A and B are shown apart, each in its own frame.
Chain A
Amino acid sequence: MKLSAVFLLLLLGIAQAVAELSDPRDERRFNELAKTLRCMVCQNQSIADSDAELARDFREQVQKKINEGQSDTEIISYMVERYGDYILYRPPFNMVTAILWLGPFILVIVGFLMILRIVRRQEQPQADTEQQARLRQLLEKSADSGNESG
């Protein structure tokens, strides 16, 4: 079956996918997965982006496991069991990384609370500033009259 399909493809001159994944949905899954796994030997590249031998082997493994019907989580935990969290571009959420995941959002909340306080503080002495404004008006008036007289 498979062989004749390949033969047919050759006959038609249609390029074969390097990733031997029959379903286009699987191919997309593979592309997404490959982008989240770090090529261990490269400086900082995903296994999708690297030409390294090891990256190729990893891609092969991921393909194989997709073809075996494994889920994304299964494939990821397979890699993590062998290579540790380092292989994941999405760091796990735990006690240590909580600040990493939540920090920016906490900062947004704290930031808006601070704005709230600034505006509140401005609102409280409203009476005072109104008085000040009246005072200023009075002063300006007197200054004007002073000018007129001068």
Chain B
Amino acid sequence: MRVRYLLPIAVFLLMVAVFGLVLYQVSQGRNIKEVPSPLIGKAVPQFELPLLLAPQRIFSSEQLKGRVSLVNVWASWCVSCRYEHDLLVRMSRDTDIPIIGINYKDERVDALKWLRDMGDPYEASIFDYDGHLAIDWGVYGTPETFVVDQRGVIRYKHTGPITMEKLRDEIMPLVNKLRKAGDTV
């Protein structure tokens, strides 16, 4: 009988618990704006598009199969792409992980100039002029970085510039794990 008078405070404390949890997660560096991709665990979308550097050559989604690779969506107009570019360049130099670029809604001239000025970490850059390929990849905020495994399945996605910590703590371990798993299969 008296329990019903405790109901309001019970509901309230439950809400406080949730808010407390959210605040804790945010203080631990969780970005509440990040939206997980439904494409993780799915095969990469099928496509055939020309390359940025060699427009006459076509890159197809089949070419992503057979090895573990990073797919990085970038554009010369994208300010935050600048923040991660150095890291990508260093990575292409210091590791043997192939990085495939998707050049998103860019003018070819601008994109080429960007690569010339800042270095080209990409094994190949796919030229997605109208941005349709990016929609198929569920891109909403450049830069975005995906990890694709040997079977051409998307295993990881990060929205926003990748940082040293992300690379060290999440991407590299995942790539190594996927490579090992691929060797044993």
Task: Report which A residues bind B (CB closer than 8 A).
Answer: 40-41, 53-54, 57-58, 61, 80-84, 86
Contacts and interface: CB of A to CB of B under 8 A. Distances in A.
A20 B128 CA distance: 23
A41 B135 contact: no
Contact of A40 (B35, B36, B137): B35
A83 B137 CA distance: 9
Given A40-B141, A54-B140, A61 B38 contact: no
A84 B138 CA distance: 9
Interface in B32-47: 35-39
11 contacts: A40-B35, A40-B141, A41-B141, A57-B135, A58-B135, A61-B135, A82-B39, A82-B135, A82-B136, A82-B137, A83-B138
Interface of B: 35-39, 105, 131-132, 135-138, 140-141
Contact of B35 (A57, A61, A80, A83): A83
Q: 5 nearest interchain CB pairs?
A: A40-B140, A82-B138, A84-B38, A86-B35, A83-B138
Find the residue from B38, B135, B138, B140 having the highest chain A CB count within 10 A: B140
Contacts of B105: 53
A121 B132 CA distance: 66
Contact of B140 (A61, A80, A81, A83): A83
A81 B132 CA distance: 14
A92 to B, nearest CB: 12
B82 to A, nearest CB: 18
Contacts of A54: 140
A81 B135 contact: no
Nearest to B45: A82
A86 B38 CA distance: 10
B38 A82 contact: yes
B141 A83 contact: no
A81 B38 contact: yes
A119 to B, nearest CB: 17
Contacts of A40: 35, 140-141
B110 to A, nearest CB: 15
B141 A84 contact: no
B37 A84 contact: yes
A54 B39 CA distance: 19
Nearest to B42: A81
A104 to B, nearest CB: 15
A80 B39 CA distance: 10
Contacts of A57: 131, 135
A40 B142 CA distance: 12
Contacts of B36: 84
A147 to B, nearest CB: 43
Nearest to A56: B131
Nearest to B40: A84
A81 to B, nearest CB: 7
Find the residue from A53, A54, A61 having the highest chain B CB count within 10 A: A54
